[in-house]
Structure 1
Amino acid sequence: MMQFITVPGYTNSGPQHWQTLLEQKYPQIIRVQQQDWECPARQAWIDGITATLAPLTGEVMLIGHSCGAVAITQWAAHSSAMNNAGLNIKGALLVAPADVDAPDALEAIRVQRPLSLAPLPFPSMLVASDNDEHLSLTRANQLATAWGSELIIIRGGGHLHSAAGYGEWPLCEVLINQLSGNQLQPV
């Protein structure tokens, strides 16, 4: 059975966040645990993903939000990140990746600089909003092109987190199933 790995962003995903609700609904979803959710330090967060994936084998799909989506792209570009021979990354859903390189990026997330612009070695979808305070639509287009991601635009979605009304989010499940080949199975 395919395993799904959620990679939350800066400050983690709270109880009403769509990642948390997905984890409660689907038993094959595992959350990456970072040592410090308040400091998305680039190498530390890459190491957090690596540690979560290390004991796994088989097919895996990554589901990142904000700085978590950024960490996925940095992990994939890291020279030794994908050395687990028993692991097959089927794809990544990158939701509202924070533009940590932007001049107006939050001070706390600048430690994750620079963004990777390397093409991802697996299929991916970048889901962005047309009014996200942490990712302009222009930058979303640039990142999708650089990463080789299919770009999906949500109108008026803000940062696509619980504060913007994204708790239960059926479209997310549809996108995960499209990218993974309909693998999500509820409890």
Structure 2
Amino acid sequence: MRISDADILIVPGLGNSGPDHWQSRWQAKLSTARRVQQDDWDHPEREAWVSRLVENVETSSRPAIVIAHSIGVITTVFAAERLKGHVIGAMLVAPSDWDKPDLLPGYDLDFNPIPMTALPFPSLLVASRNDPYCDINRASSFAEAWNSEFVDAGEAGHINVESGHGPWPEGLLRLASFLSKLRHESQ
């Protein structure tokens, strides 16, 4: 699978992945990439975020590949059944564990309980050993439940600008490898 054969949907987390975030850089670099825009990046509502993702997938002109980060991962998982048949793969990076009550004090979000069922499309989950928003063992449990290929990124924080992941070239290599596997699965 080549990038030009798919619509790449960038699904950011809280705050909308600023200009130096790897998602923003990838969006600028990948010709078929576009961001799933949300009405409120700082106070997400599950149904609004899920519906916006579904709308973007349904208006895609090519098969869709989701590249999600943090709560964008959880949004993708909640939307999964509604994406069936349209999404051909998802790269899920640094999921945030909204089942953890003290994840972010002051946020009362309805992104729990997190679904623990297999996704209806191939997926790759990349997680860090020292992510403050999701324990590596919990991320591994997500990968197992979602039937995702699991990648331990080592001590990479939340895999964002604050943890030193602006361009994140290793992530692009992972994406290329994942797309290659999608191509072989579709043949």
How does the TM-score come out when normalised to structure 2? Answer: 0.89
Q: What letter corresponds to residue 43 of structure 1 in structure 2? A: E
In the other structure, the counterpart of 1:7 is 11
* Residues 1:30 and 1:115: Cα distance change in structure 2 (over 3 Å): same
State which of 74, 85, 90 in structure 1 corresponds to 2:88.
90
Runs of 4+ in 1 over 4 A off after TM superposition: none
Q: State whether residues 176 and 182 of structure 1, in contact with CA within 8 Å, keep that contact through their aligned partners in structure 2.
A: no
Q: What letter corresponds to residue 97 of structure 2 in structure 1? A: D
Q: Quick one: distance in 2 between partners of 1:41 and 1:114?
A: 14
Q: Which has the higher helix share?
A: 2
SS at 1:65's partner residue? strand
Q: Quick one: distance in 2 between partners of 1:39 and 1:74?
A: 17
For residues 127-146 of structure 1, what are the structure 2 equivalents within 5 Å? 127-146=126-145
Q: Percent identity?
A: 35
Q: What letter corresponds to residue 44 of structure 2 in structure 1? A: P
Q: Quick one: distance in 2 between partners of 1:49 and 1:176?
A: 20
Q: State whether residues 96 and 159 of structure 1, in contact with CA within 8 Å, keep that contact through their aligned partners in structure 2.
A: yes
For residues 25-40 of structure 1, what are the structure 2 equivalents within 5 Å? 25-40=29-44
Q: State whether residues 126 and 150 of structure 1, in contact with CA within 8 Å, keep that contact through their aligned partners in structure 2.
A: yes
Unaligned runs of 5+ in 1: none
In the other structure, the counterpart of 1:103 is 101
Q: Quick one: distance in 2 between partners of 1:182 and 1:28?
A: 19
Unaligned runs of 5+ in 2: 183-187
How does the TM-score come out when normalised to structure 1? Answer: 0.89
* Residues 1:99 and 1:109: Cα distance change in structure 2 (over 3 Å): farther
Is residue 18 of structure 1 aligned with residue 22 of structure 2? yes
Q: State whether residues 46 and 109 of structure 2, in contact with CA within 8 Å, keep that contact through their aligned partners in structure 1.
A: no
Is residue 154 of structure 1 aligned with residue 153 of structure 2? yes
